[in-house]
Chains A and B, each alone.
Chain A
């Protein structure tokens, strides 16, 4: 069903993976050891592939709904929208911090993606289901990789444990937003093809608690959660990310090579 809700939902799924891919890509060439540099950039490319699939679907839907207008493409959606149009969760646009913070964020987000794609692959919308099924295999690995790093660093030396606690402090306030359904998510879930993120929260908490126990980290107590990303109200960081990512397309429109 081509409707604005489906378009917004696809854009949300795409924006999340695109911005996280962009952040992870900043580690390229700066990883602590070669194999981990490659591991994280592999993850970044996986996420970018997911973003492309969702953007292509969104572009298809937009073009079908607006036959007279200039056609949207995956590139125009990724490179020509401004900050307020992006719906990614705030956690993905945060600075990478140190390696511990990066793997912790990856763990939080991959655990969410795993549960999301598991449900989404049963969606009556065939395209979403197909993308979810393919992406689930990638995310299974991302979750495994990041979980093991959280355990290694949490249950590691004094320094790594302290850094993980600091990272946890930085990131925890941004994990609540992921499970707060935005209006388009509620509508998508009601229409049957989307997943209500609130339904994933308990399973996510279970996974986090399980890994944290092995990592000798403590799940923080209830606290106030940052929000706004899904409605286009972003932190100052997204502006800089987009400036870097979109500069080339905006400076040389329709450039190709």
Chain B
């Protein structure tokens, strides 16, 4: 069985003209990487659970269903091609996040909530 698969890993994905992976791009034997987000039965938001390779969005969703929902972990699946996820750089962490540390006046904790107000 001779199968040639070129896999792209996060970080070295080249910019493709046209974006998206339609079913026609299989002929290039490229299997893009997809990030998988699953919402569990009790949850309200989709959480990132991992990643997988697939040729197109249908296969990506089915693979996610087969790999990440075997033990009833979820009832809803989102898949996004990894190249469409843009992340902040750890080098910027200082400039991005530390200034918020000493600005306590931004937190909404300085008034008393009446007991009747729930879900706040």
Contact = CB atoms under 8 A, between A and B. Distances in A.
Interface stretch (A33-41, A118-126, A227-235): A33-41
Given A33-B5, A152-B23, A157-B27, A39 B58 contact: no
Interface in A234-250: none
Interface stretch (B38-46, B59-67, B83-91, B98-106): B59-67
A98 interface: yes
Chain B: interface size category: 10 to 19
A188 to B, nearest CB: 34
B76 to A, nearest CB: 16
Contacts, number: 38
Contact of A156 (B27, B31, B70): B27
B73 interface: no
For the residues of A in contact with B, the DSSP-based class is helix
A145 interface: yes
Interface stretch (B11-19, B49-57, B109-117): B49-57
B22 interface: no
Contacts of A36: 63
Interface in A17-35: 32-35
B3 interface: yes
Contacts of A79: none
Nearest to B62: A145
Interface of A: 32-36, 38-39, 42, 98-99, 141, 144-145, 148, 152, 156-157
Interface of B: 1, 3, 5, 23, 26-27, 31, 52-55, 58-59, 62-63, 65-67, 70
6 contacts: A32-B3, A35-B53, A39-B62, A42-B70, A145-B62, A156-B27
